[in-house]
Structure 1
Amino acid sequence: MKNSVVFRLSVKFSAILTAAVTIIILLFLMLLRQFSIKQEYNAFSRSTNNIIRSISTGNFRSLDRKLSELPFFVFYIIYDSETGEIIRQKNSMLGKLPETNGRVVRYSTKKTGSYEPANLLYLTTRCTFPDGRVFTLQIAQKTNDNSARSFLRGPFYMIALATIPILIISFFLSRFVISQTLQPVVKITKAAATISASSLDQRLPETGKKDELDNLAITFNSLFERLKSDFDRERSFTSNVSHELKTPIAVILGQANLLRRWGKDDSRQLEKSLNTIIQETHSMNSIISNLLQLSRLESGKIIPSMEETDLQKMFRHLKEEFQAIKPDLTLNFQDGPAKIFTDTELLHQVFVAIISNSIKFIKEKPVIEISCTQTKEHTLIEISDNGPGFEEKVLPHVFERFYRGDSSHNRAAGGSGLGLSIAQAVVKSLNGKITAENGKKGGAVLKIMLKNS
């Protein structure tokens, strides 16, 4: 229960809400008290100013009228500043207080006889009559500090008593709201718990609200889809590797049995079996080497060594290499950009893989055309042949490992089915892209797009 996210969030939310409400109420009461004090100061100042103006005119009738209009809680003494003669006075209990030179100050009296202690606002100021006499005005009034404190004390006790109910009510309300909000997370968690490597086709529930939780479910569903694709590809890859290695191993085992039975006495059978074993061993070695290279390329262990490469020189070298192997091959390349910044050896390997793949499927007089165009940012290399091209159902799979264009993976065409896969991995390591399509006039066309920098 206490480890529940809903419980923890509810506790935090209710505590924050209660604290916020309490602070807002206290701030409001403090502002109200400050406003009351300010109003009290303003009223006191107005009364004082009226009396000062009456004294300054020397009109005692006007002065007495102003003094009579003062509230009952306002006390005053007016006396001659030189002789100390008291001219007007109300509540002699206060006596003469320390002078304040016209400033309003607070003052607390002590208990005197039957008079209880009191908090006062008072000021003293000197006024000059028209005849030149100087009088001192001392005016004071009781403040409502005790009332203000009582006014604040009541709400404070009420807030203290209401804190526990507010906490409890806000806790249950927030728990209800949060549990409803997190309900999609609970469903996602339960659904995710049932998904395993054998059931990656299952999907997490989506609410369709397009909120953060829905985006989370969509993201995980996309992840599961990619994982399923990767698992399916790896299963297919494992099956294909098993199939590709099983065939040469079966041939080698069969030839070894023939050698054990008749090879000792039949020299022709001995020679034939040894040649077959050697050929199949080379085939297995080629498959393993290609798989290791493909793995290193995909894991990023092979880092391209970028340098300026002369394309025309590379094309001439390719022509010499393949004409030595396939004399009836016609390899043409158009004049184009002479230089490109890339890894020379890796790019040469890509051309070898593509040309070798084309030769395997062209029965007589293969013709390979290479063209190159260059822009400020990219270099496009097109390699086309006069072969049968790709079947439409084959095109999406030409770069898949061990794919040879038929469901049985027939070995009659030769090779391991890894050439174009390696070519694609190499081009990706060069920050490029390779695509396959059929030419308008027939034949296969492979396009390599490389960045110039």
Structure 2
Amino acid sequence: MKFDPSCIQFRLTAGMVLASILGFGGMTAWSNFRMQHILIKGHKDNAVEIAERFGQDVAWMDKTMPSTKALEKVINYRSTADTVIWIRSPDGTLIAQSDTLEMGSWKQDGLAEELLELSPGHKLESIQIQDRTLIVCISPLDVNGNLLGDLFVIDDITQNQASFAAVTRDLTIGSIFVIGLSALVIAIYVRQSIKPVCKMNELAANVTPENLADTHLEFDRAPTEVRDLAKAFNMMLGRLSGAWEQQRRFVSDVSHELRTPLTLVHGYLQSTLRRCNTLTEPQREGLEIAASEADRTIRLLQDLLDLARADGGHMRFHIERVPLKEIILEIIEMSSYSSDRVKADIQMPGFEARADCNRLKQVLINLIDNAVKYSDADTVVTVRLKQEGEWAVIQICDRGRGIPTTDLTQIFEPFYRVDEDRCRTTGGTGLGLSIVKTLVEGMRGKIKVQSKPGEGSIFTVSLPT
């Protein structure tokens, strides 16, 4: 499937995936922030609680033992492997400290010595020392109204931070996986949802005059909007089919009705020109012009009638194996009466193809007539016959003025003529190539044209063998 950033599928998928990323990403970021805040706040509250109750504990223990012994007892009771406590007197003397400060994990890299050098003063904060994260709570220690010094409570939360980082990493990886899975599910869902629209587009692209009446959209399980659009599309197709059929019937009827009286008029004009010897020169010239225009109009009506029959499916073809060499030579011999510039270049003698003999002759006559008409009198028109795979190829080549590139895709349209030829001097009706295309395709063949202005044109007719 071709990537198109402006298509509905891409926009819907991208929008929903972006919303998922913002949702999951925002939730993950908020969860991380809240967990970090709760972790820090919990340890700070614990340190503050130890500091607030430390004096009360010492005062209670002081009743049964000496003050120094009471301080050491409370310190050891409140200390843990990750929490250390010490007391420093106002003059800077270390009064008591946790035994855990002498443990290897605290003595490593001089951590204990660096901590003992912290300056006193009321504070509660999270600090980084070396590669550890510590909660520091420093407050005055008052026992029974006596200021003993400053109480230092240090809580090592490095391990908790590492565990939190691992959880955050797992949560991020999980979010990325969920977002990726969601993107895949969303893409599949959106693709299935817009499939009726794609089918509608495909059917609309394949609508032709031949299948216009038979084309209908039916979406029973599609969304309501798509069903309404399909219904409106079917109504439009019905109106177009009716209009097309009416136009085709009108052209056929008019062509048929006008051809008979014009044929009679043309016959009377020709009879008058042949039998009447008393006509003046202006009268004879006028009658000849009238007869010529009547003949041209009759041919135009016949062409219109042929096109109408082809559009209506009423043109019959008698397909059989025909000898192409004999047909081409016969057509060239017929053309020699009006021009001796048509030559044959037959590379496959005795070659046959499946075609309607009479329709094929009509095609070749029209193409050769055009080649002679639109090329200089001193140039040769060549009719080639060759084989390409399972196709018999007939080419009519001229060295005329050629066809502009902008007109190549439209010259097979009814009444279309190159700008230089939009006049009656050449005698054409603008329907010849359209009829040629209709006849060739009716014989299940193909026709194409190659041309360059000033270099001539090559019309290629391919017929199945």
Q: So what's the TM-score if we normalise by structure 1?
A: 0.43
